[in-house]
Structure 1
């Protein structure tokens, strides 16, 4: 299935495509996936794209990364994630979720939750408590303690820490036309280079001591939900190991920065 030839959207917004009762379907779209909310369950379908840092261009790759998404998210999210299901072409060319007749794609199936229970929404509504944050901290810490360490690979070396930091600047440079902004970007680049040099030995020590581990990779407030009375991180990165084989301190800092950006550094 390709974007141009067989987009699944027209088929999967129809209740008849699903093996269970569906009253209404809502579609959410990102640059790499379609997400179908059916009321009781959510189905996440990967777009057949190749952006370099993520490659879902073939059916085999989409199946593999659906399986990786299920495996990795079950570490923290448990039974929020249910299974990988096939999507097949049935009579008349219609797509059917859960059928294995003529498989054209795959989806990750998970329970649908109340979006008001997203931590980002709870923070806005004032329903997020210190007890919630403490529970989340304990869960993340426990996961980090048990996570596999990057011992026999290069993840977390100074060179691999350096590359994405400088890549971010390279991506921004052609998008900026203002001389003032270009000067600011130059200053940021020089600051980044200096800090990378200053902390190079520290990065090496952190890796040697085993602090580079298989982490969530995208732990911000919009990827945490209070579900069935528990704080659940979900939607971790599955498509690029360089994004999730990181220092545990990196992961914690990402979440604390998000709290600070929402003017709630007191919860960090």
Structure 2
């Protein structure tokens, strides 16, 4: 196979892609859109963090994009095609695996199946069709993806994070003043470098524990597709620079939560974080996400500045890019969303089988808060499926007192991570002794936040019916009628708590109504309206 460079203006794009009805240009690609296909051609550019000036570099990037892209959208990436000129001067495109040895390859393109624009998350959001359940689906897909992704201790090292932050400031040194005052630039530098110094031990520990992975690197709404059948596909990961693609999962997640915030939906951003933390058992993201959102907003401001300053950009696009860059810089300076709602601890407690988890979820969804439950925590610590029964072999010891102590300690530790970020948390469990409840009170006091213990009550006959229903199918809870008497005998009502931190709730009422009572008792404005 022979290769030959040709000036982009000499390549007959319309002849090579006759089915294309639209062409879009980014700072690094030409994208040719046909009704059912997409072809992406890398531009011959050098931005420092990527260098596509040689055909060989673009070939490597195209192959990498297909291989990496298939991790999150296996049916969308069809392959790589070569753009070929034959001996007679005719142009054609050929799948690289079908190239003849003497073919003259002038350029290459990624070949993709075109997904419906209406499925794109940013389009759904703009049209009011991105639902909380859509966000939940994305969080679940990301938790599974990061869970199976290649681990990389090196790129999780805080020295690499520092290098990325340095590079951002270095590459925007001459342009950042177009958008921020000198005082704001200094404030942004102090925040990012100061927080990075504080977080460095945590980042290093997380890298050693497997929380740094080969991820996506450009996780924005416009790259997320959700179809009506429930499938989530995520396109356009960073293929050209491993350092951008790899790192702590919080960095990738923060890109998406930052994008939601940029578009005015911080309620969905918080919900994304909460549902991801629950699915992955990674509540450490809360200490990191504000820093990484600031960093990611700076990245987007930099990219928009590149677009503004690119040759051939008309005045309208230049102005639009400048306005987007300004907004990203302001978001980078805002240093997170802590403070949009006051942090608190709500504990939904009471005997087993009364519906605590349903009420806890309804409350948490109003604030974009995570639910930290003893049942899922126990199963995560034991490494079993969320609905695996633990009362029988081979898990007979799963409810031993020592194991239960470890579970409650872990629930409190996870809640501590959330509160340390200035955010609210909802915990869900029996908390059937004064000692366990006192630990909750002390946790809230340590963070100086409001604490409300919800004590659920339920008619015994209705409770028995609910417990029997649990035996009819899989459940995260192991509560069953046979073990209720022994647990009830050991349960201590929360009589030691004063009325200002305790709310008794009839769990026979509609969970949404009970959630509203709890919200009213808290006296803290929710982030979101009642969520279905």
The two structures share one fold, judged by TM-score above 0.5:
yes
Deviation, 1:91, is 5.9
Change (3 A) 1:25 1:8: farther
SS of structure 1 residue aligned to 2:71:
helix
Deviation, 1:210, is 1.2
Which aligned pairs between 1:193-232 and structure 2 lie closer than 5 A? Answer: 193-227=193-227, 229=229, 230-232=231-233
Of the structure 1 ranges 178-187 and 120-129, higher mean CA displacement relative to structure 2 is found in: 178-187
Change (3 A) 1:94 1:186: farther
Of the structure 1 ranges 96-105 and 172-181, higher mean CA displacement relative to structure 2 is found in: 172-181
Q: TM-score, normalised by structure 1?
A: 0.88
Report the equivalent of 1:86.
Answer: 82
Which aligned pairs between 1:117-156 and structure 2 lie closer than 5 A? Answer: 117-151=119-153, 154-156=154-156
Which of structure 1's runs of 4+ aligned residues deviate more than 4 A? 176-180
Change (3 A) 1:133 1:11: same
Report the equivalent of 1:260.
Answer: 261
Deviation, 1:178, is 7.1
Aligned residues: 259
Deviation, 1:95, is 2.7
Whole-Å separation in 2 of the counterparts to 1:84 and 1:257: 32
SS of structure 1 residue aligned to 2:217:
coil
Q: Per-residue CA shift, 1:164-200, capped at 9, x if unaligned?
A: 1132223333225579711211122122221121111
Report the equivalent of 2:161.
Answer: 161
Which aligned pairs between 1:108-123 and structure 2 lie closer than 5 A? Answer: 108-123=110-125
Q: Which is greater in Rg?
A: 2
Deviation, 1:266, is 2.3
Whole-Å separation in 2 of the counterparts to 1:96 and 1:179: 45
Report the equivalent of 1:107.
Answer: 109
Find 2:51's aligned residue among 51, 55, 58: 55
Change (3 A) 1:227 1:7: farther
Contact 2:20 2:32 in 1 (8 A): no
Whole-Å separation in 2 of the counterparts to 1:53 and 1:24: 30
Give the aligned CA root-mean-square deviation in angstroms: 2.2
Report the equivalent of 1:68.
Answer: 64
Contact 1:11 1:94 in 2 (8 A): no
Whole-Å separation in 2 of the counterparts to 1:68 and 1:238: 6
SS of structure 2 residue aligned to 1:36:
strand
Q: TM-score, normalised by structure 2?
A: 0.46
Report the equivalent of 1:28.
Answer: 24
Q: For structure 1, which runs of at least 5 residues remain unmatched after alignment?
A: none
Q: For structure 2, which runs of at least 5 residues remain unmatched after alignment?
A: 272-532
Q: Per-residue CA shift, 1:226-258, capped at 9, x if unaligned?
A: 247322110000000011111111111221121
Contact 1:50 1:56 in 2 (8 A): yes
Whole-Å separation in 1 of the counterparts to 2:70 and 2:132: 25
Contact 1:173 1:182 in 2 (8 A): no
